[in-house]
Amino acid sequence: MTSLDSYIESNKDRFLNELLDLLRIPSVSADPKYKADVARCAEAVRKNLEAAGVDFAEICPTAGHPIVYGEKIIDPKLPTVLVYGHYDVQPPDPLDLWTSPPFEPVVKDGLIYARGSADDKGQFYMHVKALEVMVKNNALPCNVKFMIEGEEEVGSDNLGVFVVNNKAKLKADVVLISDTSMIANDVPSINTGLRGLSYVEVEVTGPNRDLHSGVYGGAVANPINTLCAMIASLHDADGRITIPGFYDDVQELSAADRKALAEAPFDEKEWMKELGVAAVKGEKGYTSDERCTIRPTLDVNGIWGGYIGEGAKTVLPGKAFAKISMRLVPNQKSDRATKLFKEHFEKIAPPYVKVVVRPHHGGEAAVTPTDSVAYKAASKAMEEAFGKKPIPTRGGGSIPIVALFEKELGLKTILFGFGLDSDNIHSPNEHYGVFNYFKGIQTIPRFFHHYAEMSK
Ligand code: BES
Ligand code: MN
Ligand code: MN
């Protein structure tokens, strides 16, 4: 494989600059004002795929943002790897907390700073470059299909439709995704599970208009106070979620499975220090690592109402709002969690407020086996590239399409992520290591090689 590594070495600057160009396009899927930029990004991805050597690459329009599809079929009898990624990014807000503008990438101390650098442009683009490396060196050992979408950060609704309607086109043997993280640059790991998600927005209405908080305050319930009390009641003293039935379907891990997961190195003190917290908090009976991966959660993502401008305004607001997410674990169903939340939240609403619960997107959890040919190939590829055998870990984030690939296409996924939890994804100063980017480009062709060999 050394000839591939030397090809990478001699094209390093170009590989990095192409990524920086992609990062300059503000492909924010959530905000309609970026619609043209998202489309421009899709076209850039298509062109780059073509340049990397696919047979063809096309833009597939959807009811929302387009999907980029490309393929290189060298022999229909050989296995096919379906690479999935997303070119859309989260909104960059809050802008004032960035040390450099989110869409003007800078490389500083070995880190590429830009929105989307780790999630997921830097990661899916490793696959585009790995394809180039394999094609240019006559080392592509099997077929490859690319499906890079533009709506992952807003729930992949239209991708779900696309997958259902294009089963033949997407026929493959395994899905390969780089959109997760490893334990550390010197502790490679492979994600074997993702959590599901249920996301809702709640609206709490009190009086029919904003009121003077002196004239009415004390006698008319304040919807923000009420919302806070309702939210506070959603956890008990043991950190468990109080929604009746919420834990019914939760898959409890065996003591052996918990022990195996606990073998992954995790320095809680160091972790707390890095996050700037003096203590941890969570469900009783579970470690921090377990709370972040194999246990369900309920979190407020945003809460608003009343006056939040400069200075002080005395007001008893008429309405209060919150965006609430629940992370789900295998066997819990997103729709059921949403239903249970809605029923419970409406039930606990005191008579002095009206409550509306609006479901947003959701998705199911996923677990990937470690005894498959693809996992073994991924493990071997990482072991060669990092000089250490990767540790299987569970991830806490969600990629809802993974469960759908299994349900609709019957395909298992390899979560071949090269990011780090400390990359600040979805947060100001998102960054991706130059080391990680090139390590990924070096490791991916090794995966293809071993996967094709082991499939023989
Ligand atoms: N790449 C992330 C998911 C992720 C990150 C998984 C790190 C594991 C480790 C993905 O882009 C993402 O942000 N997903 C969303 C869900 C989506 C439905 C908006 C999430 O997890 O919040
Ligand atoms: Mn992502
Ligand atoms: Mn994301």
pLDDT digits (tens, 9 = 90+) for 372-381: 999 999 999 9
For residues 114 and 119, give the distance between their C-alpha atoms in angstroms, rounded to a whole number: 10
Question: What spacing in Å lies between the alpha carbon of 119 and ligand 3's midpoint?
Answer: 5
Task: Specify the domain boundaries for CATH 3.30.70.360 within the chain.
Answer: 196-250+296-363
CA nearest ligand 1 atom 14, residue? 398
Ligand nearest to the CA of 365: 1
pTM score of the predicted model: 0.94
Question: What spacing in Å lies between the alpha carbon of 287 and ligand 2's midpoint?
Answer: 25
Question: What spacing in Å lies between the alpha carbon of 89 and ligand 1's midpoint?
Answer: 11
Residue range 66-91: average pLDDT? 98
Is the predicted pLDDT of residue 165 greater than 90, yes or no?
yes
Is the predicted pLDDT of residue 1 greater than 70, yes or no?
no
Residue range 206-231: average pLDDT? 98
| Nearest residue to 65 via CA among 93, 34, 44, 20 | 34
Q: Which of 393, 394, 399, 436 to mutate to test the pocket of ligand 1 (most atoms within 8 A of CB)?
A: 399
Tell me the average pLDDT of the chain. 97
Q: Which of 89, 117, 148, 152 to mutate to test the pocket of ligand 1 (most atoms within 8 A of CB)?
A: 152
Q: What secondary structure does DSSP assign to 182-248, as a single string?
A: ESBTTB-EEE-EE-EEEEEEEEEE-SSS-B-TTTTBTTB--HHHHHHHHHHTTB-TTS-B-STTTTT
CATH superfamily of 2-194+366-454: Zn peptidases (3.40.630.10)
Task: Specify the domain boundaries for CATH 3.40.630.10 within the chain.
Answer: 2-194+366-454
CA nearest ligand 1 atom 9, residue? 180
The pLDDT-based confidence of 2 (bands split at 50, 70, 90) is: confident
Q: Which CATH number fits domain 196-250+296-363: 3.30.70.360, 3.30.43.10, 1.10.20.10, 3.20.20.60?
A: 3.30.70.360
Looking at residue 361, what is its pLDDT? Answer: 86
Binding-site residues, ligand 1, Cβ < 6 A: 119-120, 152-153, 155, 179-181, 194, 197, 361, 363, 395, 397-400
Cis bond upstream, residue 92 (ω within 30): no
Question: What spacing in Å lies between the alpha carbon of 225 and ligand 3's midpoint?
Answer: 31
Residue 95, Cβ neighbours under 10 Å: how many? 10
Question: What spacing in Å lies between the alpha carbon of 420 and ligand 2's midpoint?
Answer: 12
Question: What spacing in Å lies between the alpha carbon of 397 and ligand 1's midpoint?
Answer: 5
Is the predicted pLDDT of residue 35 greater than 90, yes or no?
yes
Q: Report the half-sphere exposure of 268 (CA within 13 A, side-chain side).
A: 11
Looking at residue 179, what is its pLDDT? Answer: 98
CA nearest ligand 1 atom 13, residue? 153
